[in-house]
Amino acid sequence: MKHIFLSIFTLVFAFSVYSQYSSEENFNKNWLFYNDIAEGAEQPKFNDTDWRKLNLPHDWAIEGPFDSKYDCRMGALPVHGTGWYRKHFAMPASSKGKVVRIEFEGAMYNTHVWVNGNKVGHRPYGYIGFEFDISKYLKYDGSENVVAVRLTPEDYSSRWYPGAGIYRSVWLRVDEPVHIAMWGTYITTPTATEAKGVVQHETTIVNKSSEDKKVKVLHTYFNAEGKEVAKNSEEIIAKAGEKTWSGTFTNILNPKLWNVYQPNLYSVITTISEGEKVLDTYNTTFGIRNITYTSDGFFINRKQVKFNGVNLHHDNGALGAAVYKRADERKLEIMKDMGVNAIRCSHNPPSREFLEVCDEMGILVIDESYDCWEIPKIKNGYNVMFKEWGERDLQDMILRDRSHPSVIMWSIGNEIKEQWQPTIGWKVAKRLNAICKNFDTSRPTTAGFNSYPTAYMNNMAQQVDIAGANYKAVKYGELKENFPELALYGSETSGVASSRGVYHFPVEKYKKHKSLHVTSYDIVGPVWVFPPDIEFHFQKENPHILGEFIWTGFDYLGETSPYGGLDNIDNDGHWNSDYPSRSSYFGAVDLAGFPKDRFYQYQSQWTTKPMIHLMPHWNLGKELIGETVPVYCYTNCDEAELFVNGKSMGKKVKGKDLTRRIVDFLRYDPKHFDSPYLLSWDVPYQPGAIKVVGYKNGKKINDKEIKTAGKPKQIKLSVDRNVIDADGKDLAYVTVEILDKNGNFCPLADNQVYFEVSGTGKLVGVDNGSQISTESFQASKRKVFNGLALAILNSNEGETGTIKLKAKSKGLKGATVLINTN
Q: Are the C-beta atoms of 499 and 562 separated by less than 8 Å?
A: no
Q: What's the mean pLDDT in 277-282?
A: 94
* pLDDT band at residue 568 using 50, 70 and 90 as cut-offs: low
725-775 per-position pLDDT tens digit: 999 999 999 999 999 999 999 999 999 999 999 999 999 999 999 999 999
Task: Please tell me the predicted confidence (pLDDT) of residue 200.
Answer: 92
Residue-wise pLDDT for 351-386, tens only, equals: 999 999 999 999 999 999 999 999 999 989 999 999
Q: Is the dihedral of CA 622, 652, 701, 361 positive or negative?
A: negative
Q: Are 720 and 733 in contact (CB under 8 A)?
A: yes
Burial zone of 50 (CB within 10 Å; 0-12 exposed, 13-18 middle, 19+ buried): exposed
pLDDT in tens, 108-166: 999 999 999 999 999 999 999 999 999 999 999 999 999 999 999 999 999 999 999 99
**What distance in Å separates the CA atoms of residue 628 and residue 609, rounded to the nearest whole number?**
32
Summarize pLDDT for 743-757 with one digit per residue, the tens.
Answer: 999 999 999 999 999
Output the pLDDT for position 445: 98
Is the pLDDT assigned to residue 572 strictly greater than 70?
Answer: no
Say what the pLDDT of residue 53 is. 98
Longest dimension (CA), the chain: 89
CA–CA distance, 198 with 188 (Å, rounded to integer): 8
Gap between the Cα atoms of 181 and 212, Å rounded: 17
Query: Do 107 and 168 meet the contact criterion of CB atoms below 8 Å apart?
Result: yes
Q: Which of 378, 367, 323, 373 is nearest to 345 (CA)?
A: 367
H/E run at residue 211: none
Query: What are the angstrom distances between the C-alpha of 39 and each of 42, 166, 184, 436, 739?
Result: 8, 20, 38, 41, 54
Taking 90 as the threshold, does the pLDDT of residue 5 lie above it? no
Q: Is the pLDDT of residue 9 over 80?
A: no
What is the pLDDT, as a whole number, of residue 24? 81
- Asked whether the predicted pLDDT for residue 700 surpasses 70, the reply is yes
Say what percent of the chain tops pLDDT 90.
94
Rg of the chain, C-alpha, whole Å:
27
- Burial class from Cβ neighbours inside 10 Å (0-12, 13-18, 19+) for residue 510 reads exposed
pTM passes above 0.75: yes
Helix axes 532-541, 597-606, angle to 10 degrees: 20
Residue 562 one-letter amino acid: P
For the chain, report the end-to-end CA distance as a whole number of angstroms: 61
> d(Cα 733, Cα 118) in Å, to the nearest integer?
43
| pLDDT higher than 90, residue 569 | no
CB 125 within 8 A of CB 105: no
Instruction: Kindly indicate the confidence band of residue 3, based on its pLDDT and cuts at 50, 70 and 90.
Output: very low
- Give the pLDDT confidence of 639-667 residue by residue, as tens digits: 999 999 999 999 999 999 999 999 999 88
Is the pLDDT confidence value at 21 over 90? no
Average pLDDT for 537-564: 96
Q: Using the 8-state DSSP alphabet, how is residue 205 labeled?
A: E
pLDDT of the residue at 189 = 86
CB 316 within 8 A of CB 354: no
pLDDT, one tens digit per residue, over 176-227 is 999 999 999 999 888 999 999 999 999 999 999 999 999 999 999 999 999 9
Contacts of 194 (CB under 8 A, 6+ apart): 254, 255, 257
Nearest alpha carbon to residue 528 among 494, 559, 565, 570: 494
d(CA 233, CA 134): 31
Assess whether pLDDT exceeds 50 at residue 790: yes
Label residue 574 by pLDDT band (50, 70, 90): confident
d(CA 36, CA 52): 12
**Mean pLDDT confidence for 36-64:** 97
* pLDDT score of 13: 46
Taking the C-alpha atoms of residue 30 and residue 728, their distance in angstroms, rounded to an integer, is 13
Ordered domains of the chain (ranges, CATH): 2-17+178-291 (2.60.40.10), 28-168 (2.60.120.260), 306-606 (3.20.20.80), 612-707 (2.60.40.10), 714-821 (2.60.40.10)
Sequence-distant (6+) residues with CB within 8 A of 558 are: 72, 73, 74, 75, 158, 159, 160, 161, 582, 583, 584
**How many C-beta neighbours within 10 Å does residue 392 have?**
15
Dihedral sign of CA atoms 577, 578, 581, 587 in order: negative
Cα distances from 626 to residues 259, 414, 764, in angstroms, run 52, 49, 46
**Which active-site residues does the annotation give?**
415, 492
Sign of the torsion formed by the C-alpha atoms of 692, 694, 695 and 701 = negative
d(CA 507, CA 632) in angstroms, rounded, equals 12
Over residues 466-521, the pLDDT tens digits come to 999 999 999 999 999 999 999 999 999 999 999 999 999 999 999 999 999 999 99
Please tell me the total number of residues recorded for the chain in this structure. Answer: 822
Average pLDDT, the chain: 95
